[in-house]
Amino acid sequence: MIYFNNVSKIYKDTVALEDITFAVETGEFVSIVGHSGAGKTTLTKMILAEEDPSNGTIFFESINVNKVRSKDLTQLRRRIGVVFQDYKLLSNKTAYENIAFAMEAVGKTEEEIASDVPHVLELVDLAHRFSHFPNQMSGGEQQRLAIARAIINQPELIIADEPTGNLDPVNTHEIVQILKKINDLGTTVILTTHNRGVIESVNKRVITMENGKIIRDTKHNK
Protein backbone atom coordinates (compact mmCIF):
# COMPACT_ATOMS: atom_id res chain seq x y z
CA MET A 1 0.00 0.00 0.00
CA ILE A 2 2.73 2.48 1.03
CA TYR A 3 6.25 2.38 -0.38
CA PHE A 4 9.14 4.71 0.45
CA ASN A 5 12.06 4.33 -1.95
CA ASN A 6 15.35 5.92 -0.85
CA VAL A 7 13.59 8.97 0.56
CA SER A 8 15.54 11.86 2.10
CA LYS A 9 14.32 15.22 3.36
CA ILE A 10 16.67 18.12 4.01
CA TYR A 11 15.62 21.47 5.49
CA LYS A 12 18.44 23.94 4.81
CA ASP A 13 21.24 22.38 6.86
CA THR A 14 19.07 19.89 8.78
CA VAL A 15 18.60 16.29 7.61
CA ALA A 16 15.09 15.24 8.71
CA LEU A 17 15.06 11.93 6.81
CA GLU A 18 18.01 10.07 5.31
CA ASP A 19 17.68 7.34 2.69
CA ILE A 20 14.44 5.82 4.02
CA THR A 21 13.17 2.67 2.32
CA PHE A 22 10.27 0.56 3.63
CA ALA A 23 6.85 -0.75 2.62
CA VAL A 24 3.54 -1.08 4.45
CA GLU A 25 1.20 -3.77 3.20
CA THR A 26 -2.58 -3.39 3.03
CA GLY A 27 -4.12 -4.37 6.38
CA GLU A 28 -0.90 -4.00 8.38
CA PHE A 29 -0.60 -2.24 11.74
CA VAL A 30 2.80 -0.53 11.82
CA SER A 31 4.13 1.46 14.77
CA ILE A 32 6.86 4.01 14.06
CA VAL A 33 8.79 4.77 17.22
CA GLY A 34 11.49 7.30 18.00
CA HIS A 35 12.30 10.30 20.15
CA SER A 36 11.16 13.81 19.24
CA GLY A 37 13.06 14.89 16.13
CA ALA A 38 13.62 11.34 14.88
CA GLY A 39 11.67 12.06 11.69
CA LYS A 40 8.32 10.39 12.45
CA THR A 41 6.07 13.36 11.70
CA THR A 42 8.02 14.35 8.57
CA LEU A 43 7.53 10.82 7.30
CA THR A 44 3.75 10.86 7.84
CA LYS A 45 3.43 14.31 6.24
CA MET A 46 5.07 12.90 3.13
CA ILE A 47 2.40 10.22 2.80
CA LEU A 48 -0.16 13.04 2.76
CA ALA A 49 1.94 15.05 0.26
CA GLU A 50 2.20 17.86 2.80
CA GLU A 51 5.98 17.68 2.37
CA ASP A 52 7.98 16.84 -0.73
CA PRO A 53 11.08 14.64 -0.51
CA SER A 54 14.44 16.14 -1.35
CA ASN A 55 15.31 12.77 -2.93
CA GLY A 56 13.47 9.51 -3.53
CA THR A 57 9.87 8.57 -4.25
CA ILE A 58 6.76 7.75 -2.19
CA PHE A 59 3.95 5.60 -3.51
CA PHE A 60 0.41 5.14 -2.24
CA GLU A 61 -0.51 1.92 -4.03
CA SER A 62 0.44 2.74 -7.66
CA ILE A 63 0.29 6.51 -7.19
CA ASN A 64 3.50 8.52 -7.00
CA VAL A 65 2.32 10.83 -4.21
CA ASN A 66 4.51 13.78 -5.12
CA LYS A 67 3.44 13.78 -8.75
CA VAL A 68 -0.25 14.08 -7.91
CA ARG A 69 -1.67 17.30 -9.33
CA SER A 70 -2.96 19.82 -6.80
CA LYS A 71 -6.55 19.37 -7.94
CA ASP A 72 -6.30 15.61 -7.33
CA LEU A 73 -4.71 15.83 -3.88
CA THR A 74 -8.04 16.12 -2.08
CA GLN A 75 -9.17 12.84 -3.60
CA LEU A 76 -5.97 11.12 -2.48
CA ARG A 77 -6.21 12.50 1.06
CA ARG A 78 -9.81 11.31 1.39
CA ARG A 79 -8.42 7.78 1.28
CA ILE A 80 -6.45 8.55 4.46
CA GLY A 81 -7.81 9.35 7.93
CA VAL A 82 -5.57 11.30 10.30
CA VAL A 83 -5.62 11.38 14.11
CA PHE A 84 -3.60 14.10 15.83
CA GLN A 85 -2.17 14.42 19.33
CA ASP A 86 -4.18 17.59 19.98
CA TYR A 87 -7.50 16.24 18.61
CA LYS A 88 -8.30 19.22 16.30
CA LEU A 89 -12.02 19.00 17.05
CA LEU A 90 -14.51 21.77 16.27
CA SER A 91 -15.23 23.30 19.68
CA ASN A 92 -18.60 24.78 18.68
CA LYS A 93 -19.99 21.45 17.47
CA THR A 94 -21.24 18.44 19.42
CA ALA A 95 -19.71 14.99 19.08
CA TYR A 96 -22.41 14.08 16.56
CA GLU A 97 -21.89 17.32 14.62
CA ASN A 98 -18.09 16.94 14.51
CA ILE A 99 -18.48 13.61 12.73
CA ALA A 100 -21.38 14.78 10.57
CA PHE A 101 -19.28 17.72 9.40
CA ALA A 102 -16.61 15.33 8.08
CA MET A 103 -19.30 13.46 6.14
CA GLU A 104 -20.84 16.66 4.77
CA ALA A 105 -17.41 17.70 3.49
CA VAL A 106 -17.34 14.71 1.13
CA GLY A 107 -20.94 15.12 -0.01
CA LYS A 108 -22.73 12.49 2.07
CA THR A 109 -26.51 12.82 2.35
CA GLU A 110 -28.46 13.58 5.53
CA GLU A 111 -29.78 10.03 5.46
CA GLU A 112 -26.25 8.57 5.31
CA ILE A 113 -25.14 10.85 8.14
CA ALA A 114 -28.10 9.90 10.32
CA SER A 115 -27.38 6.21 9.68
CA ASP A 116 -23.59 6.14 10.02
CA VAL A 117 -22.75 8.59 12.83
CA PRO A 118 -24.47 6.61 15.62
CA HIS A 119 -22.66 3.44 14.52
CA VAL A 120 -19.21 5.02 14.62
CA LEU A 121 -19.93 6.66 17.98
CA GLU A 122 -20.83 3.23 19.32
CA LEU A 123 -17.63 1.75 17.87
CA VAL A 124 -15.53 4.19 19.95
CA ASP A 125 -17.82 3.88 23.00
CA LEU A 126 -19.19 7.42 22.80
CA ALA A 127 -22.85 6.78 22.00
CA HIS A 128 -23.80 8.33 25.36
CA ARG A 129 -21.85 11.51 24.51
CA PHE A 130 -23.39 12.30 21.12
CA SER A 131 -24.80 15.67 22.21
CA HIS A 132 -21.77 16.77 24.25
CA PHE A 133 -19.32 19.45 23.12
CA PRO A 134 -15.56 18.75 23.22
CA ASN A 135 -15.06 20.91 26.34
CA GLN A 136 -17.56 18.69 28.16
CA MET A 137 -15.50 15.59 27.43
CA SER A 138 -12.30 14.15 28.91
CA GLY A 139 -9.08 14.01 26.92
CA GLY A 140 -9.57 10.33 26.24
CA GLU A 141 -13.13 10.92 25.03
CA GLN A 142 -11.98 13.74 22.76
CA GLN A 143 -9.35 11.50 21.21
CA ARG A 144 -11.90 8.71 20.68
CA LEU A 145 -14.12 11.28 18.97
CA ALA A 146 -11.19 12.32 16.78
CA ILE A 147 -10.71 8.67 15.79
CA ALA A 148 -14.42 8.35 14.99
CA ARG A 149 -14.19 11.40 12.75
CA ALA A 150 -11.10 9.98 11.02
CA ILE A 151 -12.77 6.67 10.16
CA ILE A 152 -16.31 7.83 9.33
CA ASN A 153 -15.68 8.02 5.58
CA GLN A 154 -14.06 4.57 5.57
CA PRO A 155 -10.49 5.47 4.62
CA GLU A 156 -8.10 2.74 3.55
CA LEU A 157 -5.36 4.04 5.84
CA ILE A 158 -5.35 5.64 9.29
CA ILE A 159 -2.33 7.71 10.35
CA ALA A 160 -2.31 8.25 14.12
CA ASP A 161 0.42 10.78 14.96
CA GLU A 162 1.26 10.53 18.68
CA PRO A 163 -2.46 9.98 19.51
CA THR A 164 -1.77 9.11 23.16
CA GLY A 165 0.78 11.84 23.84
CA ASN A 166 -1.57 13.86 26.07
CA LEU A 167 -3.29 10.93 27.77
CA ASP A 168 -2.91 9.00 31.01
CA PRO A 169 -2.19 5.23 30.96
CA VAL A 170 -5.86 4.18 31.21
CA ASN A 171 -6.96 6.35 28.29
CA THR A 172 -3.84 5.40 26.36
CA HIS A 173 -4.81 1.74 26.66
CA GLU A 174 -8.35 2.49 25.44
CA ILE A 175 -7.07 4.38 22.38
CA VAL A 176 -4.69 1.55 21.48
CA GLN A 177 -7.50 -1.00 21.76
CA ILE A 178 -9.74 1.07 19.45
CA LEU A 179 -6.97 1.38 16.86
CA LYS A 180 -6.42 -2.38 17.01
CA LYS A 181 -10.15 -2.94 16.54
CA ILE A 182 -10.14 -0.67 13.48
CA ASN A 183 -7.18 -2.62 12.09
CA ASP A 184 -8.97 -5.91 12.75
CA LEU A 185 -11.83 -4.59 10.60
CA GLY A 186 -9.38 -4.29 7.68
CA THR A 187 -8.05 -0.73 7.81
CA THR A 188 -4.29 -0.22 7.55
CA VAL A 189 -2.91 1.69 10.56
CA ILE A 190 0.33 3.66 10.90
CA LEU A 191 0.92 4.79 14.48
CA THR A 192 3.73 7.13 15.52
CA THR A 193 4.75 7.23 19.16
CA HIS A 194 7.68 7.61 21.54
CA ASN A 195 5.89 5.50 24.18
CA ARG A 196 7.37 2.01 24.49
CA GLY A 197 4.37 0.89 26.54
CA VAL A 198 2.12 1.63 23.57
CA ILE A 199 4.38 -0.43 21.29
CA GLU A 200 4.26 -3.40 23.66
CA SER A 201 0.48 -3.13 23.94
CA VAL A 202 0.01 -3.12 20.16
CA ASN A 203 2.40 -6.06 19.65
CA LYS A 204 2.66 -5.55 15.88
CA ARG A 205 5.41 -4.53 13.50
CA VAL A 206 7.69 -1.76 14.84
CA ILE A 207 9.89 0.57 12.79
CA THR A 208 12.42 2.37 15.01
CA MET A 209 13.80 5.71 13.85
CA GLU A 210 16.75 7.71 15.08
CA ASN A 211 18.15 10.93 13.61
CA GLY A 212 16.13 10.56 10.43
CA LYS A 213 17.14 6.97 9.76
CA ILE A 214 15.43 3.60 10.21
CA ILE A 215 17.64 1.69 12.60
CA ARG A 216 15.36 -1.29 13.18
CA ASP A 217 12.30 -2.92 11.56
CA THR A 218 10.85 -5.66 13.74
CA LYS A 219 7.94 -7.88 12.77
CA HIS A 220 5.27 -8.52 15.37
CA ASN A 221 5.27 -11.49 17.66
CA LYS A 222 3.15 -14.43 16.68
pLDDT digits (tens, 9 = 90+) for 86-119: 999 999 999 999 999 999 999 999 999 999 999 9
Q: Which amino acid is at 166?
A: N
Average pLDDT, the chain: 94
**Cα-flanking dihedrals φ and ψ of residue 21, to 5°?**
-135, 120
Give the per-residue pLDDT at 181: 95
Under 8 Å between Cβ of 175 and 163 = yes
> Of 104, 86, 80, 81, which Cα lies nearest the Cα of 142?
86
Tell how strand 188-193 and strand 29-33 pair up.
parallel
pLDDT in tens, 157-196: 999 999 999 999 999 999 999 999 999 999 999 999 988 8
Q: 222 pLDDT band (50/70/90 cuts)?
A: very low
Task: Look at residue 32 and tell me whether its pLDDT is greater than 50.
Answer: yes
Is the pTM here over 0.85, yes or no? yes
Superfamily of domain 28-49+75-218: P-loop containing nucleotide triphosphate hydrolases (3.40.50.300)
Task: Look at residue 220 and tell me whether its pLDDT is greater than 70.
Answer: no
Q: Of all residues in the chain, what percent carry a pLDDT higher than 70?
A: 99
pLDDT in tens, 126-153: 999 999 999 999 999 999 999 999 999 9
Q: Which amino acid is at 37?
A: G
